[in-house]
Structure 1
Amino acid sequence: MSILVLGSGQLARMMSLAAAPIGVEVQAVDVSNHKIVDPVTKLASNHSLDKILQEVDAVTAEFEHIPEDLLATVHASGKLKPSAEAILTGADRVREKTLLEKLKIANCPFDIITNIEQLDAAVEKLGEQLIIKASRDGYDGYGQWRMQNKSELTTLKQTLSKLDLNKVPLVVEKMLNFERELSLVAVRSSEGQLAYYPLAENLHHQGQLHVSIAPATNVDEALNQQAQQIFNKLAESLDYVGVLAVEFFQLGDTLLVNEIAPRVHNSGHWTMQGADTCQFENHIRAVRGLPLGSTKVTSHTAMINIIGCSSFNRDMLSIPGCHLHWYGKNPRKKRKMGHFNLCADSYAELSKSIDRLSEYVPLEFFPMLTDEAARLAKL
């Protein structure tokens, strides 16, 4: 049994590590040069992409921003899961918004502009507090701009006028006063079998995910059902196979879709220790046509990203329930170097573990820890 992953980063690595125990071999392709590599060792193979495509049982992707010529080549093999349509939808906010509107799924009020002069009309329509997003290639806070009032409009237009909006339109969204950000990671098999992980609560800093708490606090069955019904609509419309992540803004009892990610997702890393079957193994099972694994929660878990930091005391591994996942990358600003999973029997115990972790790491790289430990302690 073998699978090829489009992309050779940490998500491909974690898929490979999860696939090995169930007897599935994973290879990866560097999308920049089409070279086949081992996703764990990064050693290059002598095999060509064409040969690998003939040999593998299935092809999947670790991220959505794949060159369209490569995506077309892989699509022609008939082995790509999820589909090219799903990957293209996740890569393009215009396609994503079009799908959400078609399925009547609630999302942030928005406008799409292909000419900078259309921004004035968008301000009149949506108000002066806006988030402006490049429709392609934006992630972790990149390719995004904020406007708090009209006095910033002239400067913002000067900045955005340098972009080719015909090639990459902008999605202009109304800035909402939402309560929190949640995400649902779930998986669908080729036969339509579904398995849901619980909602996770996500804490961002400067546009980048820093902490996920799972299961999310203060979630009732109605909110879970709402999230799962939205997932079902999306997955059925895309005839989806594999893990799909849906990110939400919560406003009262309502969930608005922020974006979708057609792949294993950072906010699902907690499943590596906090669930019976992790998201990576379940994705491999789905795309290879194996029965899906149980998504039963086994502990309260905090997933904490290690961003731009490589120097800290490994003695934090003495904390009960602390698991370090290191990606082996060279450090740079805003780069995800790895993550911790902290597991505990309750939110109160999880709070204590986060407090203890903060004693071992440089807090300038982990700005959410102290406040999150205090919040969980009050539950």
Structure 2
Amino acid sequence: MNVGVLGGGQLGRMLALAGVPLGARFRFLEHRSPAPVDGLGEVVRAPYDDADALARFRDGLEVGTYEFENVPDASARALADAEIPVYPPPAALEFARDRKHEKDGFGALGIPTAPWRAVDDRASFDAAVEQLGLPAMLKTRRLGYDGKGQRLLRSPADLDAAWAALGDRPLVLEGFVEFSRELSIVGVRGRDGETAFYPLVENTHASGVLVRTDAPAPGCSPELQRTAERYAGAVMRYLDYVGVLALELFQVGDELWANEMAPRVHNSGHWTQNGAVTSQFENHMRAVMGLPLGSTEPVGHSVMLNLLGALPPAEAVLAEPMAHLHLYDKAPRPGRKIGHVNVCGPDREAVRDAARRIERTFPDGAGPA
């Protein structure tokens, strides 16, 4: 099957590595050169909204997908208008890429979130602060990810600087949530409506960037898992979704509150490459190609460690028998995601001990402190 992917970053790379064994042939639309997908399929090197490039890109495709949610809606719709099935559907991009639309959608589906207000100008910003109180988080409605496009407001002294940094675009203000931990659930839905869910995982962030995922999340009750599946499933049914979807969650007491969703394979699901029967990347390709879904059962316990900005010595990581190194073929740059390590095994404490030893091999700034 000829598969077109909008975007050519590390997620596109890992989709191709999972899809080629299933018989997929890949074409990517990607403006960067070099790109992580180079060598894994044809690359149409152009901006995502270049009409001529889109026409070349879609020629001969049988299905389209995308590797991140900041590709233009119009590009995905151009494929659909050319009668090329696009999964997840373009409506999922529209739902997820604007935080106001996303939160309105969560509310309509009965999925709880932190209190929030839309912010369109300085007057509505000040009114939202008055209503929600401080601390609070000011976020751009569009294009923010990995801690970008947001400012934490701790006191009134922070307001002017935050507005100067972000106030030239539509925003949302979110009330501060006293949560016990950050969780996420990754699910997949096939063309026939079949759904499957991986276990809840616990995520650790630094400066808004994911640095570690523990899977399955320790101490999660079956009821908490069912709640997460119910929320993610409601979103997928509402959007007539096909493919992998991730839902980021705050645990507040015995409740789960939605933070945001990602209509794609997700960093908190990277552990599935070595720690589940079927990886999120293979299941996404199975779904968009119309194949039966694979098992989402975990194989023991896993810790995923992101590599940020610099790489540890490969021999030091791989000296751990339970470690699996995944590199993205990206040039090192401070704070940039350039790879990850999956540590997987049958015993949780042994996996955590190995992860701690691996962390000690990281250069400064390359992973969790």
2-side partners of 1:226 and 1:182: how far apart? 12
**Number of the residue aligned with 1:94:** 100
2:133 to 114, 127, 134: 127
2-side partners of 1:248 and 1:38: how far apart? 29
2-side partners of 1:45 and 1:338: how far apart? 21
Which amino acid letter does the alignment assign opposite residue 170 of structure 1?
Answer: L
Contact 2:135 2:153 in 1 (8 A): yes
2-side partners of 1:228 and 1:6: how far apart? 28
Contact 2:324 2:342 in 1 (8 A): yes
Contact 2:308 2:335 in 1 (8 A): yes
Is 1:76 the counterpart of 2:84? The answer is no
**Number of the residue aligned with 1:60:** 65
Which amino acid letter does the alignment assign opposite residue 232 of structure 1?
Answer: G
Which amino acid letter does the alignment assign opposite residue 24 of structure 2?
Answer: V
Contact 1:250 1:256 in 2 (8 A): yes
**Number of the residue aligned with 1:41:** 39
Q: Deviations over 1:104-162 (max 9, x none)?
A: 2101100001111211111111112110110011011110001112232233334444x
**Number of the residue aligned with 2:153:** 147
Contact 2:312 2:361 in 1 (8 A): no
Deviation for aligned residue 1:361: 2.0
Which amino acid letter does the alignment assign opposite residue 287 of structure 1?
Answer: V
Identity of aligned residues (%): 39
Deviation for aligned residue 1:52: 4.3
Deviates more, 1:52-61 or 1:95-104: 52-61
1:109 to 101, 109, 115: 115
**Which ranges of structure 1 fall in alignment gaps of 5 or more residues?**
369-379
Deviation for aligned residue 1:25: 1.6
**Number of the residue aligned with 2:270:** 269
2-side partners of 1:312 and 1:238: how far apart? 43
Contact 1:38 1:45 in 2 (8 A): no
Aligned residues: 360
Alpha carbons of structure 1 residues 71 and 43: separation in structure 2 relative to 1, 3 Å: closer
Contact 1:90 1:96 in 2 (8 A): yes
**Number of the residue aligned with 2:317:** 316
Task: Give the match's secondary structure for 2:188.
Answer: strand
Q: Deviations over 1:276-305 (max 9, x none)?
A: 000000000001100000111112011100
Deviation for aligned residue 1:80: 0.7
**Number of the residue aligned with 2:367:** 366
Q: TM-score, normalised by structure 1?
A: 0.90
Contact 1:28 1:38 in 2 (8 A): no
2-side partners of 1:261 and 1:337: how far apart? 20
Contact 2:29 2:44 in 1 (8 A): no
Deviation for aligned residue 1:259: 0.1
2-side partners of 1:345 and 1:38: how far apart? 32
**Number of the residue aligned with 1:50:** 55
2-side partners of 1:298 and 1:8: how far apart? 29
**Number of the residue aligned with 2:198:** 197
2-side partners of 1:80 and 1:315: how far apart? 42
**Number of the residue aligned with 2:20:** 20
Q: Deviations over 1:197-256 (max 9, x none)?
A: 001100000010000010001001000000000011100100000000000000011000
Contact 1:277 1:293 in 2 (8 A): yes
Deviation for aligned residue 1:38: 9.0
1-side partners of 2:192 and 2:68: how far apart? 23
Contact 2:303 2:344 in 1 (8 A): yes
2:91 to 76, 85, 89: 85
**Number of the residue aligned with 1:340:** 341
Is 1:256 the counterpart of 2:264? The answer is no
Which amino acid letter does the alignment assign opposite residue 172 of structure 2?
Answer: V
Which amino acid letter does the alignment assign opposite residue 230 of structure 2?
Answer: Q
Contact 2:44 2:57 in 1 (8 A): no
2-side partners of 1:150 and 1:38: how far apart? 43
Task: Give the match's secondary structure for 1:210.
Answer: strand
1-side partners of 2:81 and 2:6: how far apart? 14
**Number of the residue aligned with 2:241:** 240
Q: TM-score, normalised by structure 2?
A: 0.93
Which amino acid letter does the alignment assign opposite residue 97 of structure 1?
Answer: K
**Number of the residue aligned with 1:371:** none
**Number of the residue aligned with 1:287:** 288
**Which ranges of structure 2 fall in alignment gaps of 5 or more residues?**
46-52
Q: Deviations over 1:178-207 (max 9, x none)?
A: 100000001001111011100110000001
Alpha carbons of structure 1 residues 38 and 127: separation in structure 2 relative to 1, 3 Å: closer
Deviates more, 1:40-49 or 1:269-278: 40-49
1-side partners of 2:100 and 2:343: how far apart? 37
Contact 1:313 1:361 in 2 (8 A): no
Task: Give the match's secondary structure for 1:229.
Answer: helix
